[in-house]
Structure 1
Amino acid sequence: MTHIKRITTLAAATVLMLGLSACSNMSDRDRNTAIGAGAGGVAGSVLTGGSTTGTIGGAVVGGIIGNQIDKDKK
């Protein structure tokens, strides 16, 4: 069982590192959109008890809000 735990931990760490490196060339606006969508998806899932519709709706709303943050700063 310990061997499976190590493999799972290594796989999760690898996926996390690849995911973080994918954001390295994003603009601030793109990064805000992705962060907003992720946070909105989590919030929507929590507020609706894990419903798919709530998760997707939260991600959409969070992405829109994240996209509009600092829109006028240039």
Structure 2
Amino acid sequence: MEGAELKSIRLKLGLSAEGFARLVGAADGAHVRKWERTAVPPPVAVLAKALRDSDAVRSYFGVTLAVTSE
């Protein structure tokens, strides 16, 4: 997963970098912003894709997809 894809997923979930960091157990939003510029750790990539693709996973973590006007 490229960093831009992670950022896209994070934004679709309506999460700040800090909020996404809390969700995945990262130290802080700075780590998330770094991943968005460089390589995304495989476990984070798997979770991000699951959050994007699965209603059940989003429900488990208590997040929803943000409404966009695309």
Higher normalized helix content (fraction of residues): 1
The TM-score with structure 1 as length reference comes to 0.25
Q: Which has the larger radius of gyration?
A: 1
Greater relative contact order: 1 or 2 (C-alpha under 8 angstroms, separation 6 or more)? 2
The TM-score with structure 2 as length reference comes to 0.26
